[in-house]
Chains A and B, each alone.
Chain A
Amino acid sequence: MSRPDPAHTHDPARHLAPAAVLDVDPLLADPKTRIVVCCGSGGVGKTTTAAALGLRAAERGRKVVVLTIDPARRLAQSMGIDSLDNTPRRVKGIDDSAGGELHAMMLDMKRTFDEIVEAHADRERAAAILGNPFYQSLSAGFAGTQEYMAMEKLGQLRARDEWDLIVVDTPPSRSALDFLDAPKRLGSFLDGRLIRLLTAPAKLGGRAGMKFLNVGMSMMTGTLGKLLGGQLLKDVQTFVSAMDTTFGGFRTRADATYKLLQAPGTAFLVVAAPERDALREAAYFVERLAAEDMPLAGLVLNRVHGSGADGLSAERALAAAENLEEPGIVDQEGGKEGLRNSPDAYGSSDSPTSETPAHTSAPASEGGSPAVDAERSVDQLAAGLLRLHAERMQLLSREQRTRDRFTALHPEVAVTEVGALPGDVHDLVGLRDIGDRLAANERELPDPAEDPDAEAPDLPEASA
């Protein structure tokens, strides 16, 4: 299934000068670092990275709060933040010998919105807003509310000044833009012309030059009224006028949050995996951050694969696998290489156990002495190991290519690589391990400068 690409499998000539190395420990240790924002496309391990960084900083003596958006359930449980009360909880079980603390919270978007209303309106008005159906929909569902509320929460946490480091995970937006744009969008909407029209038509009508607006407005409310039904329009107007007085400074707040992100104490980390789409998004993000004067600390490249036997190329491994498979098997069907690597071609009846639920229909061995069978199954196993290795080497070279492409476009971006793990991270031990990997700066990708036959590097990418 995988289409081999011999031209690139192990070609030192293509290897660019390695990118600058991102050293996370000095960044986390520096008391001037007050906010770390982890951003990137969905599914690249942002939440895990944020949690691991927070834990690492806390265990090195800082008082940290991690704001996560949508953590995996088991990770949230292990940190004790699976209840949605929208306030930071102290995480137990960390090594606090350096005097640090770790707090964590999971963002509750609606609750955050409600809190803003409660904080900025008197009780009666707050009740009117919270009960308004329009508000209920907006607070729960407006595309961008989550992004806005994440930024709002960040502003709140920063204002409380109880922590000396805030690590933020960003919402899984459909595009990198949403998260930066949402505060502006919501802010500008709520401060916008339309809102003013809806809330203060009389005032506008009196001014010169506003006549056309007034005409437009009556036509518009008429149309909207017909389209949406009168009650809805009334709800909208009530809501908007309530919001308007309450959120007078919405734009100011949005601007303040935005400035906070540009401030020197903030560091952005773009998180990606060495895959085409994720790195494309990462490159896009890097460019966007630069355009917005947001301080980028570097790229965290998650799920990078390595191999302890990277001196053995995919081609040689496949050739050797064929050698092993050919002689022994009499009636093997040809050309079954690749996807679902013909499990039925391996006689499994002579394996130590017959526990092969997936392939119970495996044929009985085609005769021969048990010793020969045993040897052949070892050969088959060895062939499998070699195919697995070939797959790994092809993956490595693909990852190297996508990574090189990113480095070529953005040589200025410092990178740290984190090796792939076979499973998900569920607990502090796992997070600590990720933290070590984040800080280790080991080269997971094969280094072509190395003697291809040299002894294998001692740290393969998985832990048990």
Chain B
Amino acid sequence: MSRLQVVSGKGGTGKTTVAAALALALAKEGKRTLLVEVEGRQGIAQLFETEALPYEERKIAVAPGGGEVYALAIDPELALLDYLQMFYKLGSAGRALKKLGAIDFATTIAPGLRDVLLTGKACEAVRRKERSGRFTYDYVVMDAPPTGRITRFLNVNDEVAGLAKIGPIHNQAQAVMRVLKSPETAVHLVTLLEEMPVQETVDGIAELRSARLPVGRIIVNMVRPEVLDTADLELLRSVPRSTVARSLSSAGLGGARRGGHAERLVDPLLTQAEEYSERYTLEHEQRAVLAELGLPLHELPLFAEGMDLAGLYELARELREQGVS
């Protein structure tokens, strides 16, 4: 399986949560994963209920079965200083550059340099080995920028290699591209069963494919429970209101003689069922659209009360059961 797992998705689909769950799922017995954050939002720290992550790899969780999850929030400025140090042994000169705003310049304005540093750092972690010869991390999971930007983000090294035709940045960009376009990498897209996220997923996959970046899985997040099935919805169309009222009454919700409580419940309950039915149909349509993409498709449940650490572990278990690790 690919050792660099990139997780993208439209904003609001829960890609950070899915990336974190995936890192946990991949950390099976004896394995070690690194969860990488590139957008400086500290979403990982929030999910794991720890303080903000520094620019440093640190262990944040032990997965079910004993594997370890490390996390790293990549700070592009510090990553650049890292590189300067690595290539030029620039200590104080690096600080001088920072003072001048050069670092700020290089990481926010220079074309794609920021992205090169971010992907470069992740690729470095993928390739890093211990003295014993084993990889430091069995898997690196990246909580990547959203679908709309992911292709550009991953492909920026191509662009930079073209812009910087010589020099260490050029070499670095090419080395990163070799990892990103190989089977070592898989880009997963997180979506919801709603029209816009699905459309964006379809578009995103087309873009990734045309850039020859390896597309992995589609993960449908926050799937709502099925309360009424197709047969129920079918029956809903023909069932007499009085029959439903009788049924409600027999369940202890008051009969016609006691003020008609059950009677009065029927309409609002049927209205809610109508809404459910409409959404159910829409969700089925979106599922069909996703199925046509011909990629492995996974579904994760909605946690109505919001995501917390326990929920995260549950998602990780779900991902393992669905065979993603």
Contact = CB atoms under 8 A, between A and B. Distances in A.
Q: Judge: A and B partners, yes or no.
A: yes
Most chain B beta-carbon neighbours within 10 Å: one of A72, A74, A388: A388
B45 to A, nearest CB: 15
Interface in A297-349: 307-309, 312, 316, 319-321, 323-324, 338-341, 343, 346, 348
Contact of A382 (B108, B227, B230, B244): B244
A392 B228 CA distance: 14
A319 B252 contact: yes
Interface string A127-138: 000000110111
B248 to A, nearest CB: 6
A229 B100 contact: no
Given A174-B39, A223-B88, A308-B271, A323 B231 contact: no
A138 B227 contact: no
Interface stretch (B19-27, B48-56, B58-66, B234-242): B234-242
Contacts of A256: none
Interface string B121-158: 00000000000000000000000000010001000100
Contacts of A227: 84, 87, 167-169
Interface string B157-197: 00100111111111000000000000000000000001110
A236 B110 contact: yes
Contact of B276 (A307, A375, A388, A398): A388
Contact of B244 (A70, A356, A385): A385
A383 B253 CA distance: 12
Majority DSSP secondary structure for residues of A touching B: helix
B97 A223 contact: yes
Contacts of A219: 93, 96
B229 interface: yes
Interface in A352-384: 352-353, 355-359, 362, 375, 377-384
A161 interface: no
Contacts, number: 260
A229 B169 contact: yes
Contact of A343 (B88, B226, B238, B302): B226
Contacts of B306: 276
B235 to A, nearest CB: 5
A172 interface: yes
A433 interface: no
B79 interface: no
Most chain A beta-carbon neighbours within 10 Å: one of B41, B106, B111, B278: B111
Interface string A30-61: 00000000000111000000000000000000
Interface stretch (B28-36, B205-213, B260-268, B289-297): B260-268
A43 B12 contact: yes
A160 interface: no
A189 interface: yes
Interface residues of A, number: 101
Nearest to A230: B166
B229 A356 contact: yes
A193 interface: yes
A203 interface: no
Contacts of A378: 235, 239, 243-244, 247
A392 to B, nearest CB: 6
A20 interface: no
Nearest to B276: A388
A236 B276 CA distance: 56
A316 to B, nearest CB: 7
A429 interface: no
Interface residues of B, number: 87
B228 A141 contact: no
Nearest to B106: A224
B269 interface: yes
B111 A352 contact: no
Contacts of A380: 232
A340 B229 CA distance: 10
Contacts of B170: 229
B289 to A, nearest CB: 13
Contacts of B261: 453
Most chain B beta-carbon neighbours within 10 Å: one of A175, A185, A380: A380
Nearest to B277: A422
Given A143-B108, A385-B269, A460-B271, A216 B167 contact: no
B85 interface: no
B223 to A, nearest CB: 9
Nearest to A462: B275
A339 B267 contact: no
Contacts of A307: 268, 272
B324 interface: no
The 9 nearest A-B residue pairs measured at CB: A308-B268, A137-B111, A43-B12, A348-B231, A42-B11, A309-B268, A382-B247, A320-B251, A2-B304
28 contacts: A43-B11, A72-B196, A133-B163, A137-B112, A141-B152, A144-B108, A172-B11, A189-B108, A219-B93, A220-B100, A224-B102, A232-B164, A312-B265, A316-B253, A323-B251, A348-B231, A351-B231, A355-B230, A356-B229, A377-B231, A378-B239, A387-B227, A388-B269, A391-B225, A424-B194, A453-B261, A460-B268, A461-B275
Given A228-B110, A424-B196, 11 more contacts: A189-B105, A227-B168, A229-B163, A320-B252, A324-B251, A346-B231, A359-B231, A422-B275, A422-B282, A423-B278, A460-B271
